[in-house]
Structure 1
Amino acid sequence: MKGLQLTAVKLLKFASLSCAIVCSAFSYAASPTPSALKPPVILQDYLGQQRKAAGLTAKTVQVGNVTWSYNEGGSRTKPSILLIHGLAGSRDDWNRVAHFLTPDYHVIIPDLPTNGDTKIPADFDISVPNVTEQLRQFAIAIDIEDKLNIAGHSLGGSIATLYASQYPFDTQSLFLLNSAGIYKQANTAYTKDPYYLKNLIVSKPGDLDEVSHQLMQQPPQVPLKLKRAQEKLLIAQSPQIQKMIEQIITLNRIYTPDSFARLTRNVEAPTLILWGKQDKIINVEAANELKSLLKRAAAPVILNNVGHMPILEAEQEVADHYLPFLAKSQKFKNPLADKLIPLN
């Protein structure tokens, strides 16, 4: 039984990794997944089992022209946490961390528009500002917008930062993990020139091993049959990922470190920053730069022997740092509350 459990864990990590195979800067593009490109049934079944083990239930809600798919767990009487996945990821990337959160918090994990099972119209505006606004409408629709704790990984960190900047009265805390942004101290090939993100596309047999080692410090070992099935899926998705990267290249010509800094300095919420020291996508030095831009951030937590995917590589350590921060931040008053002036 123990051996089967360990194999299941490896399958889950590999399944989540395949969903997060491209992680980078400040925007993303539509990537609808036709039924032919959905994960193998064995992985779909296992993800359902893993959600259940984490105390999560899959749900949907229609908000405007977006049909959101999301996982929800924990009691609604507890403080709410909104977990935001990265580029080309999905809600299930967070399941292993959520296992530690649902006993004491109300946890919501959506598939972002253009990702996973969330459905959008063909003409949907996929810019980060619009996606953030749509996320706000989602939060209002399911009644979690007040005193919301927000966590974001990679691109999800950029969205979480923008959300906290735009809605400071309603953001109780912010947690940023290997957070994407436009950094002055960014020095990896991927952050200096988004064109190099094309090296993360799985376009032919054999690519998956190399990409996995770029994203994770210690990629899991998986059965060859499963690896080939996942690689085939990613090869089929490669044209759409190519379009994503082309958009990122364009947007990085528009955004600058200064514009990103101005946005970040508007965040009022207490903030926890966590980074994998061996991140090859967004180098660890960016963590201190991000800290310098935020008003209420402590020294970043740096995890050794962890790459770009701490929510998959080191979920226990992520939870061990996040839970004390959450408990402490629930006692804080929003710093803007004392600045309110009666409108009359």
Structure 2
Amino acid sequence: MKGLHSTFGRVLKCASLCGLFIFSQPSFAAGNHPAAAAQPAILQNYLVQERKAAGLSSKTVQIGNITWSYNEGGSRANPSILLIHGLAGNRDNWSRVAHYLTPYYHVIIPDLPTNGDTKVPENFDISIPNVTEQLRQFVEKIDIEDRLNVAGHSLGGSIATVYAAQYPFDTQSLFLLNSAGIYKHALTPYTQNPSSLKQLIVSKPGDFDGVMHQLMQNPPAVPFKLKQAQEQQLIAQAEQTQKMIDQVVTLNRIYTPDSFARLTKSVEAPTLILWGRQDKIINVEAANELKTLLKRAEAPVILNNVGHVPIIEAEQAVADHYLPFLAKSQKFKNPLMDKLIPLN
């Protein structure tokens, strides 16, 4: 059984990785799911097992024309954490980190609109400002907005930053992991040429291994048949993935390093920054640039021999740094509260 669990673990890392930055089962309007994109049962079953092991359960909630799917775990009596996945990722990307969080915190992990099992209209606006606004409505609906701890990976880091800037009174802390942004000084390929993300699309047989090595420093070994099934699934989703990347390219034409800097400088929440030193998507130098922009950021944590996906490659190290930061930040008072003048 130990050997079988080890094999499943490698499979899960592969499956989670493929949803973490560029790939995932895309969300469509009801009734429009292509059969070719259906997740293989062996992976689907194991992801359910991983949720259970992490103390998470799957839930849904309807808000307007969006049907949100999300994982929830931990006691509501504890402080709440909102974990936000990356571009075209899904909620299960965070399961291994959540395993360390749910004993102490109330954890919420949604599938963002157009991702995973969350269903949206076909004409849904996937821009970061709109997704952040919809995320706020979700947070209010499930009643966790007060003193919320927000964490985001990759593009989820940008969403988390916008959230913290727009809702400063309610954001207790911010955690950014290999966070996407429009950086001025960091010589990252993504910032210099957003179209380079297209290199991470699995569009034909044989692409899978190359993409894995771009995203991870040490990709896990995966049994051939399972890897083949995963590659076929990603090929079937290539067109939808292309559309998502086109939206990211458009956003990078609209926003500038200066506008990104102004937004980031407005964040009041204490912030922890974490990066994989071998990130080939967003260079590690971006961590120090973020540090200079944020008002209350600690010195960045840099993990050696880790690529773009520390929440999969080094989940225990992520938790080991995040838990002490969380414990400390719960004691902080929001500085904005001291500036309020009583209405009477």
Q: TM-score by structure 1 length?
A: 0.96
Q: Secondary structure at the match of 1:336?
A: helix
TM-aligned CA deviation for residue 342 of structure 1: 2.5
Are 1:275 and 2:275 matched, yes or no? yes
Determine if contact 2:126/2:247 at 8 Å carries over to the other structure.
no
- Tell me the equivalent position of 1:18: 18
Structure 1 distance, partners of 2:2, 2:173, is: 38
Distance 1:280 1:204 in 2: 22
Question: What is the CA–CA distance in structure 1 between the aligned matches of 2:147 and 2:229, rounded to whole Å?
Answer: 43
Deviation at 1:85, TM superposition (A): 0.2
* Equivalent residue letter for 1:136: R
- Letter aligned with residue 124 of structure 1: F
> Which amino acid in the other structure matches residue 96 of structure 1?
R
* Superposition deviation, residue 240 in structure 1: 1.3
Q: Are 1:42 and 2:42 matched, yes or no?
A: yes
In 2, Cα distance between equivalents of 1:140 and 1:251: 26
1:135 equivalent in structure 2: 135
Within 5 A, what are the aligned runs for 1:151-230? Answer: 151-230=151-230
Equivalent AA in structure 1 for residue 171 of structure 2 = T
1:342 equivalent in alignment to 2:342:
yes
Superposed displacement of residue 250, structure 1: 2.0
Aligned match of 1:27: none
CA distance in 2, matches of 1:78, 1:31: 31
Matched-pair contact (CA < 8 Å) for 2:149–2:172 = yes
- Give the secondary structure class of the aligned counterpart of 2:278: coil
Segment of structure 1 superposing worse, 287-296 or 241-250: 241-250
- The CA deviation at 1:90 is 0.2
Number of residue equivalences: 338
Contact 1:31 1:240 in 2 (8 A): no
Greater CA deviation, 76-85 or 177-186?
177-186
Q: What letter matches 2:172 in structure 1?
A: Q
Q: Is the 8 A contact 1:21 1:211 kept in 2?
A: no
Q: Give the aligned residue type for 1:110.
A: P
Unaligned runs of 5+ in 2: none
Bigger shift: 192-201 or 68-77?
192-201
Residue 82 (structure 1) aligned with residue 74 (structure 2): no
Q: Tell me what 1:120 maps to.
A: 120
CA distance in 2: counterparts of 1:123 and 1:60, whole angstroms: 21
Correspondence for 2:257:
257
Alpha-carbon distance in structure 2 between the residues aligned to 1:251 and 1:194: 9
Aligned-pair identity (%): 77
Equivalent position of 2:247 in the other structure: 247
Aligned pairs for 1:311-326 (under 5 A) are: 311-326=311-326
Asked if the contact 1:191/1:281 (under 8 Å) is kept, the reply is: no
Q: CA deviation at 1:22?
A: 1.9
Which stretches of structure 1, 4 residues or more, deviate above 6 A after TM superposition? none
TM superposition shift of 1:21: 4.7
Higher deviation after alignment, 56-65 or 2-11? 2-11
Which segments of 5 or more consecutive residues in structure 1 lack a partner in the other structure?
Answer: 24-29
Secondary structure of the corresponding residue to residue 72 of structure 1: strand
Report deviation, 1:35.
4.1
Instruction: Name the counterpart of 1:26.
Output: none
Please give the residue correspondences for 1:276-295 in structure 2 after superposition, counting only pairs within 5 Å.
276-295=276-295
Work out the CA distance in 2 between the residues paired with 1:320 and 1:341. 39
CA distance in 2, matches of 1:325, 1:127: 30
Distance 1:188 1:325 in 2: 27
Deviation track 1:59-80 (CA, whole Å, cap 9, x = no partner) reads: 0001111110000000000000
Partner of 2:144: 144
Q: Distance in 2 between matches of 1:18 and 1:145?
A: 30
Counterpart amino acid of 1:236? A
Structure 1 residue 18: Cα displacement? 1.7
Deviation at residue 197 of structure 1 after TM alignment: 1.3
Higher deviation after alignment, 164-173 or 119-128: 119-128
Displacement of 1:31? 5.2
2:51 aligned partner: 51
